[in-house]
Structure 1
């Protein structure tokens, strides 16, 4: 049941997103589109309630409950950014809005951008951890909750790896390419 609901929530996320953007830009109903987009958190709430009820009804805590917590955490950490990004593209393609701003590609601006993405991953890991700790406390039997603990450790491993990648942009920033000059012209100008 929980696995099916995770799939339904993922599909529902994209269906609501498409419906909200279509209402905003194709049907020219911005308030209706916003109302549809605001239904997105209801999917995560539904998933949380069903997972809690599943545990309450005596289901053994398993990977499916951990994945539900990770899904909710990811949505909290990165859902807003995803919706904003897609909204910018829809506004540009469907309503003649300005092209969306692309992320910086070089230097410390790129490092700051990657750091903000990593903060979303940290928030997602923290939310997933809080939900998993609640589930572990709710079940009350450490022997039955090892799969939930593994999911929690997995969330923090992912956040750590993402943090190292983001940090690499600060220590080894990608340099901007020369402004169209050949290497020989740059050497001549330097002398």
Structure 2
């Protein structure tokens, strides 16, 4: 059975912190692959600044040298709000011989009870919480993976670009793409 990590997010823009999370979980849990799933329209926050196409293209640059990392466009195929349970149902239908591990930040574990259809979702996948130094959680149903601190944020990167500063934590190919397409006020 194939072991696949699922890592959803807006990736607006994707950065080395996202890459570090994927590689850490891939190694820690001996997964075969990790699929990055850019949300089409997040249910819990404002729409991303960059279009789905731009975010997908930036992700391609981010993972270009990582053969075990893939991008799934499943949420753009569905359109509309991106509820995790709907995405997982589709992926389980397509990948019947796979076991899925859904990766979230350790700080998000406490919000799992508020997720749409969480009880059903927990029967379909294994949640993985990534913790950083100084953070922890107590939900025994969530696998814990410890990771070194990566002080990178998409919000901060967007603000740095808007101020015409060189953003930290952004691979040069992703930054070149942002400048070429005039994203985030560049």
What TM-score comes out, normalization by structure 1 length? 0.24
Higher Rg of the two aligned structures: 1
Choose between structure 1 and 2: higher helix proportion: 1
Choose between structure 1 and 2: higher strand proportion: 2
What TM-score comes out, normalization by structure 2 length? 0.25
